Structure 1
């Protein structure tokens, strides 16, 4: 399921990216119709909407403000969506420019998706009202839930890119794993995090730090069986997201009965896992 690719790069890791087939990005009207059909979502602000009478002074000739054009248009074509009391900006709408596709190294269920180099990106970002709380679990969960709703609605939405894990996730896999999580199931560790082999043979998570402030390292020789170590990593990531990280050593029993030690590294950046 995993793979490697280098895509067009966007340097800012804030938010989540929606990857559309070429020429298939929606416009403002399409997003308005999307919001009308989803009870949990509403369109809370559109900069192109005419001002409400009595709230904003009319122009001298009585006409509504003209829509911006040219280079200004690319920055102005966006909307604010409200989901479960949280506001998110959606950028990259037609007729503005697409958002650059972020750097991707880890692919999940992307066999039927278009080549990333041809995809057109849109971006969901926490709104200004959420400044300072962008990386709290409720905000990230709300943003991912909104992405799931958009995937469900737009057939041409091919994949989701999650910069903290350098991952691109195919629409079916993203929708199924995220829906299960939102309904009380396991955290989507394959996609919202990833795993890579370190130079010393350890299996290390990618992107878990975005959720709990620490990465997971399954140390050799426990990491020698890559498939088994990845399954263990998925289980541990789910538990660590639930508890919010690890401050002191713990002993646990793995599903196969192996007794394990989990211990924070000296600098606190990693959670290291060994057989006891």
Structure 2
């Protein structure tokens, strides 16, 4: 049985490999062992290129492995820690999705933490060239993803530059993918001269705070650790305007 792309089952992530470079399920099984690993369920599905992964009572599907057909590469707008000429167009993708019983719960932090832990293991797959986090339309090097989520899983800040994207413009820094977690995106206004390195630090800290505290429904001042106060003002239901104090 091939895993179907169904409502509520868009991929959380895609693993990108060179042409004919997608691993088979037995390569995934080789990563599953160990206290920080996962369990591979239903190995009979290997012939179709599907793997069902279990960790902490939650199941996830990895489809598009060899010898099954590859999956489409999700749209990518942002790139991190990849060569300037890196292109996703010629690569083959395997999709990582929540299991059917988790459909609709994929944005909950306990689910995301388990998903991130499994994906961090999967970055060790031979031939992996990039990880795409679909909600933020961001592609990144496997090493970047593994380090960023590893710090988070060890008790550090939310990986704002791996599980969301922060895009710079002349006006400031705008998030993408945060709405997947909180229902809101923000723009951090920089004023004349555009965003500075300090604005980048504020945006990262702000992302961490918003993931921890959830949506902001009325104007308020927030003091962010290490960078000071910001003024947050909602605009409609899904956008936040942010000004450094």
What is the TM-score when the length of structure 1 is the normalising length?
0.77
1:80 partner SS = strand
Could you say what secondary structure the match of 1:178 adopts? helix
Question: Does residue 268 in structure 1 map to residue 237 in structure 2?
Answer: yes
Which of 35, 40, 54 is the equivalent residue of 2:37?
40
Stretches of structure 2 that go unaligned for 5 or more consecutive residues are: 1-8
Q: Kindly tell me: are residues 157 and 250 of structure 1, through their superposed partners in 2, closer, same or farther at Cα, counting changes over 3 Å?
A: same
> Are the structure 2 counterparts of residues 268 and 22 from structure 1 closer, same or farther at C-alpha, using a change threshold of 3 Å?
same
Taking the aligned partners of 2:208 and 2:227, their CA distance within structure 1 comes to 17
The structure number with the bigger radius of gyration is 1
Deviation, 1:112, is 9.0
1:156 equivalent to 2:127? Answer yes
SS of corresponding position for 2:60: strand
Please say if 1:121 is aligned against 2:93. Answer: yes
User: Which of 102, 105, 112 lines up with 1:133 in the alignment?
Assistant: 105
Question: 1:54 corresponds to which residue?
Answer: none
Shift of 1:101: 1.2
Tell me the distance in 1 between the aligned counterparts of 2:203 and 2:70. Answer: 35
Alignment of 1:21 onto 2:18:
yes
1:55 aligns to what? none
User: How far did residue 191 of structure 1 move?
Assistant: 2.2
* Distance across 2 between alignment mates of 1:253 and 1:35: 41
Provide the rounded CA distance (Å) in 1 between the counterparts of 2:84 and 2:66.
Answer: 24
CA contact (8 A) 1:222 1:229 kept: no
For these two proteins, the number of residue pairs brought into alignment is 236
Shift of 1:223: 7.9
Quote how far apart the aligned CAs of 1:260 are.
Answer: 2.8
1:174 aligned counterpart, secondary structure? helix
5+ unaligned residues in a row in structure 1: which ranges?
A: 1-11, 50-66, 68-75
Between 1:188-197 and 1:174-183, the stretch displaced more is 188-197
* Cα distance change of structure 1 residues 256 and 244 upon mapping to structure 2, 3 Å threshold: closer
Counterpart among 189, 195, 198 of residue 228 in structure 1: 198
Give the Å deviation of 1:125.
0.4
Could you tell me whether the CA contact under 8 Å between 1:113 and 1:170 is conserved in 2? Answer: no
CA drift at 1:14 = 3.1
TM-score normalized with structure 2 length: 0.86
Per the alignment, residue 155 of structure 2 pairs with 184
Are the equivalent residues in 2 in contact too, given 1:13–1:164 (CA < 8 A)? no
Partner of 1:52: none
TM-superposed deviation, 1:192: 1.4
Output the CA distance in 2 between the equivalents of 1:168 and 1:235: 21
CA drift of 1:142 comes to 1.4
Query: CA shift at 1:40, angstroms?
Result: 3.2
Q: In the alignment, is residue 169 of structure 1 matched against residue 166 of structure 2?
A: no
